């Protein structure tokens, strides 16, 4: 294991109200096992993650008055400074959701001396997390992106859905502002559905965009996690394939495998270099089976929930790399790792019982290396027990029986990505609606230029 500055604590920042966020648990375990004192600042209750023995203290932010339940910059700064006073010395700050990453970057100059953060441009995370901005970002970096339309009216939304091809993908550009009842991503199967969704723009708090849906295919869904230093140079990183997801095809990774993929790795490196990105990122790609090109569909300027998939033989991952780098320690070259499998027990169970495999693979066939579970750990069993009890209680309370869940899947109401409402057993994202005007007039972008090779990754 690398030598860590164990006198420098870490603060995990999570404003998303999901009490079952396994990425937060992974970060606490990763740094705690390295001897780092780990604190967490959460916007609501910590949930099952709070049972881990690797969490030194939980700090809770005051109720937020910002849009969508997010804290204003003033509120977030106050909460971070209060936590800093309690910690008593400078700490590495690790945001674990988009809200936190965006706020921390904007506040970085005012947090100097209290927190260690990558020197990313203050407004860059907000641009990258905004799905309406991603087409232009990809075009400048010559990274493929699905054809996207930002309609300016319900009529334009209906027309765009038809032109893109039905079913089309509908996304809210700033999903962290969504109120309960709205999904971050959904399929629209008719022009009328697209028009009705557009009419909820003010309620959603951000613009609606429509995208051409890339076809489902075995091995189509990929992701890349990395930690970048100056010039967007990756110190650690890897590509992975989504074997199962929940909800199927559009949801969170339930089972993933670390597999080399030159096209995904090259696209990630090109994008990070073009942006001079600093810090941790999580990219989602989908392979177009017709062209053999991987398209970037999502950019998350923070660790993905399954970041522990990319852990080398010495225990190095993106969160540990950030702590090492920001405390002036050397980040060693990664040693081994491809073939590892990551399993999120609750999502994997739902996916196995109620949904098709995300990539048409059996996890057993992909398991060429060690398996890491999101919740269960022999040296830290209480979070798994708390998660299992909580999920069982929610399922019983909501009557989430297989027939009801199958109906949700059939109607598409479970189609979402990266939201806390990813299954019937999880709560919807809390927070009030926040009106925001949509773009003036319809904007259309064709697939962006690319230089990836056709069929560059093994999908068998």
Predicted local confidence at residue 320, as pLDDT: 98
pLDDT per residue as tens digits for the range 274-316: 999 999 999 999 999 999 999 999 999 999 999 999 999 999 9
Residues 11 and 39 sit within 8 Å (Cβ to Cβ): yes
- With a pLDDT cut of 90, the percent of the chain lying above it is 72
CB atoms within 10 A of CB 151: 27
3-state secondary structure of 191: helix
Q: Is the peptide bond before 247 cis (omega within 30 degrees of 0)?
A: yes
Please give the mean pLDDT across all residues of the chain: 87
Residues 198 and 151 sit within 8 Å (Cβ to Cβ): yes
Give 115's pLDDT tier (boundaries 50, 70, 90).
Answer: very high
Predicted local confidence at residue 431, as pLDDT: 33
Q: How far apart are the first and last CA of the chain?
A: 33
- Strand 10-14 relative to strand 38-42, pairing: parallel
Residues 126 and 105 sit within 8 Å (Cβ to Cβ): yes
pLDDT per residue as tens digits for the range 142-184: 999 999 999 999 999 999 999 999 999 999 999 999 988 899 9
Q: How far is CA 4 from CA 40, 130, 210, 325, 404, in A?
A: 19, 34, 45, 10, 49
pTM: 0.87
Q: Is the peptide bond before 167 cis (omega within 30 degrees of 0)?
A: yes
Residues 387 and 375 sit within 8 Å (Cβ to Cβ): yes
Asked whether the predicted pLDDT for residue 460 surpasses 50, the reply is no
Q: Let me know the angle formed at the C-alpha of 452 by 447 and 458, rounded to the nearest 5 degrees.
A: 115
Mean pLDDT in residue range 35-63: 93
Residues 41 and 79 sit within 8 Å (Cβ to Cβ): yes
Give 2's pLDDT tier (boundaries 50, 70, 90).
Answer: confident
Q: Which of 69-73, 132-136, 354-358 has the lowest mean pLDDT?
A: 354-358
Residues 308 and 33 sit within 8 Å (Cβ to Cβ): no
| Torsion (CA) 97, 106, 318, 17 in degrees, nearest 10 | -10
């Amino acid at each position: 294991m690398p030598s860590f500055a164990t006198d420098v604590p870490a603060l995990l920042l999570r404003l998303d109200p999901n009490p079952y966020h396994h990425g937060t648990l992974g970060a606490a375990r990763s740094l705690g096992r390295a001897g780092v004192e780990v604190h967490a600042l959460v916007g609501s209750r910590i949930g099952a993650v709070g049972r881990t023995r690797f969490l030194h203290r939980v700090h809770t932010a005051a109720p937020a008055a910002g849009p969508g339940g997010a804290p204003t910059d003033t509120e977030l700064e106050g909460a971070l400074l209060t936590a800093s006073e309690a910690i008593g010395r400078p700490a590495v700050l690790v945001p674990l959701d988009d809200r936190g990453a965006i706020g921390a970057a904007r506040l970085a100059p005012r947090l100097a001396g209290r927190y260690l953060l990558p020197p990313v441009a203050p407004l860059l995370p907000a641009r990258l997390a905004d799905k309406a901005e991603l087409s232009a970002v990809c075009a400048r970096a010559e990274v493929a992106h699905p054809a996207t339309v930002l309609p300016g009216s319900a009529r334009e939304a209906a027309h765009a859905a038809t032109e893109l091809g039905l079913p089309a993908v509908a996304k809210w550009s700033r999903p962290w502002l969504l109120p309960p009842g709205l999904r971050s991503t959904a399929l629209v199967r008719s022009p009328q559905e697209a028009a009705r969704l557009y009419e909820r723009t003010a309620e959603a708090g951000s613009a609606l965009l429509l995208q051409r849906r890339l076809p489902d295919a075995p091995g189509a869904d990929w992701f890349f996690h990395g930690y970048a230093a100056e010039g967007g140079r990756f110190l650690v990183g890897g590509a992975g394939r989504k074997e199962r997801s929940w909800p199927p095809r559009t949801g969170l990774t339930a089972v993933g495998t670390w597999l080399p993929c030159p096209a995904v790795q090259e696209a990630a490196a090109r994008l990070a270099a073009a942006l001079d990105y600093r810090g941790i990122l999580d990219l989602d790609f989908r392979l177009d089976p017709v062209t053999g090109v991987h398209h970037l569909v999502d950019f998350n300027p923070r660790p993905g929930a399954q970041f522990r998939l990319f852990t080398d033989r010495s225990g190095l991952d993106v969160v540990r790399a950030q702590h090492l780098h920001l405390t002036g320690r050397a980040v060693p070259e990664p040693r081994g790792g491809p073939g590892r499998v990551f399993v999120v027990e609750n999502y994997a169970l739902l996916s196995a019982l109620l949904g098709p495999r995300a990539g048409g693979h059996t996890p057993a066939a992909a398991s060429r290396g060690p398996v890491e579970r999101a919740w269960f750990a022999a040296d830290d069993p209480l979070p798994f027990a708390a998660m299992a009890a909580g999920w069982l209680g929610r399922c019983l309370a909501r009557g989430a029986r297989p027939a009801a869940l199958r109906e949700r899947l059939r109607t598409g109401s479970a189609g979402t990505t990266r939201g806390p409402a990813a299954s019937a057993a999880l709560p919807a994202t809390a927070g009030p609606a926040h009106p925001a005007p949509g773009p003036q007039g319809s904007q259309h972008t064709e697939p962006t230029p690319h230089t990836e090779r056709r069929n560059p990754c093994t999908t068998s």
